[in-house]
């Protein structure tokens, strides 16, 4: 008699496996603590309340920068985390919106960079790496999203637009796999 095998694992274990696999597939070298942070970020979004600040991220960023101390760090962390999560998991949903994935990449990278400058923060190197490699970590979350069936099918034109706006190596590789020949002049807006 065949017995069904059930895997019992926590959200942390589940996302750890997915993030580690995505880092390998994307050929991204990440610090152990940074990978740990991304895993916990994903698990945290499973339990996140719907009571979020609905102000535009730029306004939230301005408020966070005007505040000080713990409140500032908490605001910057929330903005960086939300930007990374949305641009990684839901970049396709931003199509035809007032703001696009490049807005989230810019705001999130800036928030993490500002956090990295807090000398007292134990996670300062993590935030510096997230800021420096923001687009790479967007690719990691996109990979995780696709493997968890949380993303819609990618439209070739949308994928090309994302590559143009962010320069994402993963988007570029997906385009090449679909037969699109990329030139660096396409990103600069020059016509050849």
Domain boundaries, the chain: 11-152
Distance CA 79, CA 110 (A): 9
Give the dihedral of Cα atoms 53, 90, 70, 114; nearest 10 deg.
-120
3-class DSSP state of 9? coil
pLDDT at 1 over 80: no
CA–centroid distance for 100 within its chain: 13
Q: What is the pLDDT, as a whole number, of residue 172? A: 81
From residue 124, give the alpha-carbon distance in Å to each of 33, 99, 120: 11, 28, 8
Distance between CA atoms of 113 and 179, rounded to whole angstroms?
Answer: 36
pLDDT tens-place string over residues 59-109: 999 999 999 888 999 999 999 999 999 898 887 777 666 678 888 999 999
The pTM of the whole model exceeds 0.95 = no
pLDDT of residue 179: 55
Rounded to the nearest 5 percent, the helix, strand and coil shares of the chain are 65, 0, 35
The count of other CB atoms within 10 Å of the CB of residue 46 is 9
User: Rounded to the nearest 5 degrees, what angle is found at the Cα of 174, between the Cα atoms of 172 and 179?
Assistant: 95
Compute the distance between CA of residue 145 and CA of residue 123 in angstroms, rounded to an integer: 25
């Amino acid at each position: 008699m065949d017995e069904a095998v059930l895997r019992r694992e926590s959200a942390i274990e589940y996302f750890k496996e997915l993030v580690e696999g995505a880092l390998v597939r994307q050929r991204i070298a990440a610090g152990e603590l940074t990978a740990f942070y991304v895993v916990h970020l994903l698990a945290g979004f499973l339990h996140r309340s719907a009571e979020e600040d609905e102000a535009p991220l730029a306004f939230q960023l301005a408020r966070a920068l005007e505040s000080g101390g713990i409140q500032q760090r908490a605001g910057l962390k929330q903005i960086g985390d939300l930007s990374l999560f949305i641009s990684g998991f839901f970049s396709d949903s931003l199509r035809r919106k007032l703001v696009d994935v490049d807005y989230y990449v810019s705001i999130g990278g800036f928030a993490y960079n500002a956090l990295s400058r807090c000398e007292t923060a134990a996670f300062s190197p993590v935030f510096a790496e997230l800021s420096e490699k923001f687009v790479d970590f967007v690719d990691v979350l996109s990979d995780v999203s696709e493997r968890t069936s949380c993303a819609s099918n990618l439209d070739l034109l949308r994928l090309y637009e994302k590559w143009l706006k962010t320069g994402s190596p993963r988007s570029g590789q997906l385009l090449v796999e679909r037969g699109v020949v990329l030139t660096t002049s396409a990103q600069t807006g020059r016509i050849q």
